[in-house]
């Protein structure tokens, strides 16, 4: 099951389109969820009964429109709608149990598609076990490439596995990006570094990681992209021609990081393609 959060915004519509297309590729059902959040009205001056009917009616309208869109795009996908009371982040955390992935818009009117880099990201991508896909509102042509960031830690392996699966389902090329930098002490006088050896070692990191998955995905063409660069710059640059960018949410190297760390935060701010955050 794939879960997508909606709030009536344009980016939420884009998230529904992405989610239903992915549900078709993965052979999954789709659950469209809207959170009825009464918390802004539950203060002393506003009785609880002042707005619930309007909130419920609006939620049902949003769900009807999202359901119609999903059926229009992929009529063969099984789709259900859920209107649930609670804070959006808490609702999504609960819905993530047993889900193949969670899909969200990156901007919106509030609720799920609202400020992703604030409370929703903290409570969803940082705490759920399934991949969280962040979708922008702009439509992009199909590029035929999936990009994934890897480092030298086992924490990047779930992201790499997810990326291989997505590339295989899409018939896309998989670009494996590894960004590296010399340590600060490398620039100290008298510290010798053989750059060919350094580059070779970094290339071997990618080969070792990729080799764990190529046997299961013989149809996927892999491009090993190893470059001396800052991770955010490398991933953002590579994602310009991608349909999806995949990053890990944990790791000890330069590419994978927690969602609220500098790499994932930078990627979510600067890339225009959908981003999948996969926890280790």
Q: Is residue 90 part of a domain?
A: yes
Beta carbons of 59 and 109 less than 8 angstroms apart? no
Q: HSE of 194 in the Cβ direction (CA atoms, 13 Å)?
A: 4
Residue 232 has a CB neighbour count (10 Å cut-off) of 23
279: pLDDT strictly greater than 80: yes
Q: Is residue 52 part of a domain?
A: yes
Are 101 and 83 found together in one domain?
yes
Check residue 102 and give its pLDDT. Answer: 94
Beta carbons of 85 and 55 less than 8 angstroms apart? no
What number of residues does the chain have? 280
Are 128 and 172 found together in one domain?
no
Query: Which tokens sit at 237?
Result: 């640059």
Mean pLDDT, rounded, of the chain: 82
Are 131 and 149 found together in one domain?
no
Are 173 and 262 found together in one domain?
yes
Are 116 and 241 found together in one domain?
no
162-188: burial string, b at 16+ Cβ within 10 Å, e else: bbbbbbbebebbbbbbbbbeeeeeeee
Are 130 and 171 found together in one domain?
no
Mean pLDDT of 161-189: 83
Residue 193 has a CB neighbour count (10 Å cut-off) of 11
CATH of the domain at 245: 3.40.50.620
pLDDT single digits (tens) 24-80? 999 999 999 999 877 655 555 555 555 567 888 899 999 999 999 999 999 999 999
Q: Which of 147-161, 165-179, 186-200 has the highest mean pLDDT?
A: 165-179
Check residue 6 and give its pLDDT. Answer: 92
Q: How confident is the model at residue 262 (pLDDT cuts 50, 70, 90)?
A: low
How many distinct structural domains can be found in the chain? 2
Mean pLDDT of 196-223: 90
Q: How confident is the model at residue 118 (pLDDT cuts 50, 70, 90)?
A: very low
Lowest-confidence segment of 9-23, 104-118, 133-147, 198-212 by average pLDDT? 104-118
Question: Tell me, what DSSP letter sits at residue 31?
Answer: E
Check residue 89 and give its pLDDT. Answer: 83
Q: What percent of the chain has pLDDT over 90?
A: 48
Check residue 41 and give its pLDDT. Answer: 57
Pick from 135, 165, 188: which residue ends a domain? 135
Q: Is residue 140 part of a domain?
A: no
Q: What is the pTM of this model?
A: 0.85
Check residue 66 and give its pLDDT. Answer: 97
176: pLDDT strictly greater than 60: yes
pLDDT single digits (tens) 213-255? 999 999 999 999 999 898 889 999 999 999 999 998 764 443 4
* Percentage helix, strand, coil for the chain under 3-state DSSP, each rounded to 5: 45, 20, 35
Mean pLDDT of 104-116: 54
Q: How confident is the model at residue 183 (pLDDT cuts 50, 70, 90)?
A: low
Q: Which domain holds residue 127?
A: 2-135
Q: HSE of 218 in the Cβ direction (CA atoms, 13 Å)?
A: 1
Are 206 and 89 found together in one domain?
no
Sequence-separated (6 or more) residues with CB below 8 Å from residue 130: 96, 99, 100, 101, 102
Helix (H) or strand (E) holding 174: strand 173-180
């Amino acid at each position: 099951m794939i879960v997508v959060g909606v709030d009536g915004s344009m980016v939420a519509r884009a998230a529904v389109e992405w989610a239903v297309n992915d549900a078709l590729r993965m052979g999954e059902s789709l659950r469209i969820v809207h959170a009825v959040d009464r918390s802004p009205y539950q203060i002393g001056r506003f009785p609880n009964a002042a707005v619930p009917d309007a909130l419920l009616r609006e939620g049902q309208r949003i769900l009807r429109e999202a359901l119609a869109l999903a059926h229009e795009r992929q009529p063969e996908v099984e789709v259900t709608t859920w209107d649930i009371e609670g804070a959006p982040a808490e609702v999504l955390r609960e819905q993530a149990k047993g889900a193949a992935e969670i899909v969200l818009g990156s901007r919106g009117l509030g609720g799920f598609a609202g400020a992703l880099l604030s409370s929703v990201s903290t409570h969803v991508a940082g705490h759920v076990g399934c991949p969280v896909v962040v979708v922008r509102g702009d439509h992009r042509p199909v590029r035929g490439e999936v990009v994934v960031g890897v480092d030298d830690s086992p924490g990047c392996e779930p992201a790499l596995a997810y990326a291989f699966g997505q590339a295989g389902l899409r018939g896309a090329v998989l670009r494996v990006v590894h960004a590296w930098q010399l340590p600060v002490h490398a620039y100290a006088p008298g510290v010798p570094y053989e750059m060919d050896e350094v580059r070779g070692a970094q290339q071997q990191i990618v080969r070792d990681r990729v080799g764990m998955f190529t046997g299961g995905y013989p149809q996927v063409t892999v491009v090993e992209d190893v470059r001396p660069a800052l991770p955010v710059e490398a991933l953002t640059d590579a994602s310009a021609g991608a349909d999806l960018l995949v990053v890990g949410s944990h790791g000890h190297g330069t590419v994978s990081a927690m969602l609220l760390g500098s790499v994932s935060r930078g990627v979510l701010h600067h890339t225009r393609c959908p981003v999948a955050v996969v926890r280790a």
